[in-house]
């Protein structure tokens, strides 16, 4: 027998037999078999009982613990000694920073040819400069906003190195300066180059290689919107080159001098994301800035400042977006509209100008999150969602975020106009509903019942021929 417990029980039973009867016992085979079987059955029964008792005890312990956890969750006051585990570094941040980012206070990433600042989500919380910045980035990500914003400043003759983005389309608005843009199509057979000036829009689909060169005397200042709420993933051409083994680069490019030509290149210590060599005049002796045909350029470019102005009593809106009905668009604008709509997760851009004391009335968007950057002026923003209402001030350089379906309004409170550049997370035509429109569309007897006011009272709300999206008192 392999079972040691059984052997011990057998020895104990044999030791209890008188020595004088040992020979009789061993000679009686039937009795021996019966005795062995009895012992086996007794041990087997003991095992079953032991197992059953063990299972019962474990069940009681489990039920007891489950009851304690249930009590702790639903009736914490009944067990004052039990405390909920709270993170040690729990932060108290003003809720407005879910919707507001003071971008001028964020970290400046300096390069030889310029600088970049970000209002975005970061996968490593240590990369946030402040708790408020973290609250904004977390809000973008948790709302799946499909939005990131960066400002790009390029010095005169500076170059945003050729690069591409793995996980986002890019929409840029040039607020200041003059730049020369290059876009390389798949296969490298078609290179589209064009010039942009202040007030115009550029568009680069995801994984499309592009560059931006400042060709003016003043700094270029771009507002760049990216269609991702995750951390932006970008690869620059110089980083790719120096990460490629020398023999692979030599075999691919087949330059004069072979691998020795490749070895003559040296990676700079300072990141060349925005590049400006001190000896540029020696390096570049003959630069040309070619303008490609309109049929190519208008896929990646839109003259927003020259587009149709939508006038309201309290301000003006202009659009760089897809239009389902493009009958009012020029031929070039149709190229941009249709090309935009061909790309998944493209954005719509607009400028919003609110005159002094004007109000972009309460409204919400059916099909898009909204992100905005204050170019000039100052004002107040109000947000109304399921958590309640809040209002906060905004100034030049601030970034605001309004999740889809969140009602919001914008008031101009300075002597000068409040000017926004806005991006919306839709490649379709934006769908919006204003407060006056949805109240006018609701039957007055429904409003009377809802607000405990006589039906006749709602006749006092006038309906204007002119759209009051941006109104004045």
Q: Provide the pLDDT for residue 89.
A: 45
pLDDT at position 68 over 90: no
**Hey, how many other C-beta atoms are within 10 angstroms of the C-beta on 263?**
12
Sheet containing 148-154: order of strands: 109-111, 114-119, 148-154, 220-226, 170-176, 201-204, 301-302
Nearest to 216, CA basis, from 281, 157, 161: 157
Q: What percent of the chain has pLDDT over 70?
A: 81
Of 447 and 89, the structure prediction assigns the larger pLDDT to 447
Is the backbone of residue 13 left (phi > 0), alpha (psi -120 to 50) or beta?
A: alpha
Tokens coding 46: 């003991």
Q: 405-415: per-residue pLDDT in tens?
A: 999 999 999 99
Q: Of the given ranges (38-42, 107-111, 469-473), which has the lowest mean pLDDT?
A: 38-42
pLDDT at position 421 over 60: yes
Q: C-alpha angle 378/380/382, rounded to 5°?
A: 155
What is the rounded average pLDDT of the residues 436-441? 96
Q: Provide the pLDDT for residue 60.
A: 53
Measured in degrees and rounded to the nearest 5, phi and psi for residue 206 equal -55, 140
Q: 72-117: per-residue pLDDT in tens?
A: 332 333 333 333 333 434 568 999 999 999 999 999 999 999 999 9
Q: Provide the pLDDT for residue 38.
A: 63
Q: 349-375: per-residue pLDDT in tens?
A: 999 999 999 999 999 999 999 999 999
User: Is the Cβ–Cβ distance between 386 and 406 less than 8 Å?
Assistant: no
pLDDT at position 52 over 80: no
Tokens coding 152: 């790009």
Q: Of the given ranges (48-57, 176-185, 284-293, 396-405), which has the lowest mean pLDDT?
A: 48-57
Q: 221-242: per-residue pLDDT in tens?
A: 999 999 999 999 999 999 999 9
User: Is the Cβ–Cβ distance between 420 and 173 less than 8 Å?
Assistant: no
- Scanning the structure block, which residue is given the tokens 């075999």? 251
What is the rounded average pLDDT of the residues 433-455? 97
Cα separation, 433 vs 439, whole angstroms: 10
Q: Provide the pLDDT for residue 186.
A: 84
Cα torsion 31, 37, 43, 46: sign: negative
pLDDT at position 4 over 70: no
Cα separation, 149 vs 100, whole angstroms: 12
Q: Provide the pLDDT for residue 45.
A: 64
Q: Provide the pLDDT for residue 87.
A: 43
Nearest to 292, CA basis, from 300, 284, 282, 280: 300
Nearest to 312, CA basis, from 470, 77, 162: 470
Q: Provide the pLDDT for residue 387.
A: 85
pLDDT at position 162 over 70: yes
Q: 173-195: per-residue pLDDT in tens?
A: 999 999 999 999 988 999 999 99
- Scanning the structure block, which residue is given the tokens 């972009």? 360
pLDDT at position 282 over 90: yes
207: DSSP letter: T
What is the rounded average pLDDT of the residues 289-306? 97
What is the rounded average pLDDT of the residues 115-139? 97
Cα separation, 381 vs 216, whole angstroms: 36
């Amino acid at each position: 027998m392999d079972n040691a417990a059984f052997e011990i029980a057998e020895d104990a039973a044999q030791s209890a037999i008188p020595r004088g009867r040992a020979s009789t016992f061993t000679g009686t085979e039937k009795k021996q078999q019966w005795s062995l079987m009895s012992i086996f059955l007794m041990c087997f029964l003991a095992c079953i009982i032991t197992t059953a008792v063990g299972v019962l005890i474990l069940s009681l312990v489990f039920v007891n613990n489950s009851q304690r956890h249930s009590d702790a969750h639903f009736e914490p006051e009944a067990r004052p000694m039990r405390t909920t585990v709270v993170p040690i570094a729990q932060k108290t941040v003003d809720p407005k920073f879910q919707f507001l980012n003071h971008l001028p206070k964020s970290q400046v990433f300096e390069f030889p040819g310029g600088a970049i600042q970000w209002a975005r989500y970061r996968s490593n919380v240590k990369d946030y400069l402040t708790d408020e910045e973290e609250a904004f980035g977390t809000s973008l990500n948790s709302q799946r906003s499909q939005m990131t914003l960066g400002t790009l400043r390029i010095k005169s003759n500076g170059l945003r190195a050729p690069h591409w983005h793995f996980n986002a389309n890019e929409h840029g608005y040039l607020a200041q300066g003059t730049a020369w843009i290059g876009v390389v199509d798949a296969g490298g057979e078609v290179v589209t180059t064009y010039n942009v000036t202040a007030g115009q829009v550029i568009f680069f689909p995801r994984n499309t290689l592009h560059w931006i060169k400042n060709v003016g005397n003043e700094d270029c200042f771009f507002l760049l919107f990216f269609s991702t709420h995750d951390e932006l993933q970008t690869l620059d051409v110089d980083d790719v080159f120096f990460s490629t083994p020398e023999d692979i680069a030599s075999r691919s490019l087949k330059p004069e001098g072979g691998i020795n030509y490749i070895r003559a290149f040296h990676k700079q210590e300072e990141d060349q994301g925005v590049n400006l060599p001190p000896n540029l005049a020696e390096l570049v002796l003959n630069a040309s800035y070619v303008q490609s045909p309109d049929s190519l350029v208008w896929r990646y470019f839109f003259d927003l400042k020259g587009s149709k102005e939508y006038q309201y009593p309290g301000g003006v809106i202009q659009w760089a977006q897809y239009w389902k009905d493009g009958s009012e668009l020029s031929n070039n604008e149709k190229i941009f509209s249709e090309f935009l709509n061909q790309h998944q997760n493209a954005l719509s851009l607009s400028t919003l100008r609110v005159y002094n004391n004007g109000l972009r009335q309460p409204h919400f968007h059916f099909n898009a999150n909204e992100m905005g950057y204050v170019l000039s002026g100052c004002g107040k923003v109000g947000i109304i969602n399921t958590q309640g209402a809040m209002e906060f001030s905004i100034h030049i350089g601030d970034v605001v975020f309004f999740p889809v379906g969140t009602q919001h309004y914008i008031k101009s409170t300075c002597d000068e106009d409040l000017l926004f550049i806005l991006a919306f997370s839709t490649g379709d035509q934006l769908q919006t509903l204003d407060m006056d429109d949805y109240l006018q569309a609701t039957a007055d007897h429904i409003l009377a019942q809802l607000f405990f006011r006589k039906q006749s009272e709602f006749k006092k709300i006038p309906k204007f021929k002119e759209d009051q999206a941006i109104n004045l008192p």
